[in-house]
Structure 1
């Protein structure tokens, strides 16, 4: 499809043919949490979370918040954070401005924990660790254009004794200023053929952080990530081994249309005490079922190493 929404098994996902009320109803059915003034949507593939022009076949969540608010019988819904259009999983909304301010403050203070699951091309080594590599935006390419010296170091971190991968930055014309701290914790949950199911926890909030750290930092890009699979040629689609393509049920010529296998599966949110007076320190864990493409690879249902209750 021209909108790049081809899923494994020749399924497609495009909002181009849906009417506004149908889109609102679709989003409503994807609500996975509605308590304490917090509404969480299990965002599907091809839904944007910010204003502006959207890709063909996609839809802008912001445009449909008034309709969704009416469906929930509340005056307004306030966006709190966003994830990429091609990512899936939990997106938080607030019913009131007060709750929105509380959640945004929690994000700023890093009191909200987000856990993603992804499928990578090849298996990260080591199987568990932390990637601590600063990122900077490139004015030329508008993505994370950093260069690193090939000097990975290993050390213990707190009591977890995890491997920490760091690389000394090499200043370039495009990256001498504006570098942001970017830290990502990861662990391999399962391996199959030349792929891995990986749980990822971003400890900072840089744009495309998970994708860059896995793709460029560990050299194991997320399946379907055509942007951060090669530092040499960013225009080429991701190259996948034949065994992986067979498992996905797609031809090599359609590899370019493969969706991103990156899903925000759960979020731990400190509840505003004014909304939950019974427990001023309560934390709500919000979970979202995995999308079709994860199930298609038959990792989720066939393994017990992750919380299968969310599937």
Structure 2
């Protein structure tokens, strides 16, 4: 497998059309033709992502993700100060089809989605907080929608933030900072870390 530190602004996989052909996956596959995507990060999100080497390793890593044996931790800077300082956001999510690629909370048709958050620090001068986010599920835009839904949008989020939080940062302040997973061959627990660049 290959563990990568994705920069912000780069697609995890190619998008539609030639203008969106550049991606982390295509860059890695140019050097390792057997590299296969197992999970993704939003284009605006930076941080740790793992790719499998070959079909069998892809199968094993995919099973580890499905069985929730992979733990991901993110660092984010959000508007306001979450209260309580640690908690769980359990709001069902579904694609907002008229406004794709946006997702939305939908209590009737949404898929169960769970995020743990912990306040790490608060800057009273700016009114912003640094938080650790631990998704228990892996829905599209889950962390971004959940933080927005509890009134603390991630700074620089052009899809879900209000004008103030969008303008507070030049990029989405969300970084996949820790990844813990079983080695696909040995089963040994592996820990990877990446400092947030903000």
TM over 0.5: yes
By how many angstroms is 1:122 displaced? 0.9
Q: Distance in 1 between matches of 2:83 and 2:25?
A: 39
| 1:260 Cα deviation after fit | 0.3
Q: Distance in 1 between matches of 2:18 and 2:156?
A: 17
Q: Using a 3 Å threshold, how does the CA distance of structure 1 residues 54 and 239 change in structure 2: closer, same or farther?
A: farther
Partner of 1:183: 114
Displacement, 1:257? Answer: 7.1
Structure 1 residues 57 and 50: alpha-carbon distance in aligned structure 2, compared to 1, 3 A threshold? closer
Change (3 A) 1:120 1:110: same
User: 1:93 offset after TM fit, Å?
Assistant: 0.9
The residue that corresponds to 1:202 in the other structure is: 135
Residue equivalent to 2:104:
145
Equivalenced residues, count = 195
Equivalence for 2:158: 226
Cα distance in 1 between the residues matched to 2:17 and 2:180: 29
Which residue of structure 2 lines up, in the alignment, with residue 284 of structure 1? 190
Does 2:193 align with 1:261? no
Counterpart position of 1:59: 22
Alpha-carbon separation, structure 1, partners of 2:131 and 2:54: 35
1:43 pairs with 2:25: no
Q: Report runs of 4+ in structure 1 exceeding 4 Å deviation.
A: 54-58
Q: Which has the higher strand share?
A: 2
Deviation at 1:286, TM superposition (A): 1.1
3-state SS of the aligned residue for 1:48?
coil
Structure 1 segments unaligned to the other structure (5+ residues): 1-37, 70-74, 148-168, 170-175, 231-237, 241-253, 295-311
In 2, the alpha carbon distance for the partners of 1:124 and 1:208 equals 19
Supply the distance in 1 between the matched residues of 2:87 and 2:29 (Cα, whole angstroms): 42
> What residue in structure 2 maps to residue 29 of structure 1?
none
CA distance in 2, matches of 1:126, 1:180: 25
Partner residue in 1 for 2:72: 114
Report if the CA contact (8 A) 1:189-1:198 is conserved.
Answer: yes
Deviation at 1:227, TM superposition (A): 1.3
Could you tell me which residue of structure 1 aligns to residue 182 of structure 2?
270
Compare 221-230 and 203-212 and name the one that shifted more.
221-230
* Residues 14 and 22 in structure 2, CA contact (< 8 A), matched pair in contact too: no
> Is the CA contact (8 Å cut-off) linking 1:119 and 1:195 kept in structure 2?
yes
Q: Deviations over 1:25-46 (max 9, x none)?
A: xxxxxxxxxxxxx211100011
Q: Please tell me whether residue 104 in structure 1 is matched to residue 62 in structure 2.
A: yes
Task: Name which one, 1 or 2, has greater alpha-carbon Rg.
Answer: 1
**2: CA distance, partners of 1:65 / 1:269:** 20
Q: Quote the Cα distance in structure 1 between the aligned partners of 2:89 and 2:119.
A: 14
* C-alpha RMSD over aligned residues: 2.3
Secondary structure of 2:42's aligned partner:
coil
Shift in Å, 1:197: 0.6
C-alpha spacing 1:256/1:220, structure 2 compared with 1 (3 Å): closer
Contact 1:46/1:85 (8 A) holds in 2: yes
Tell whether the 8 Å contact from 1:54 to 1:60 is kept in structure 2 after alignment: no
State whether residues 104 and 145 of structure 2, in contact with CA within 8 Å, keep that contact through their aligned partners in structure 1. Answer: no
1:146 deviates by: 3.0
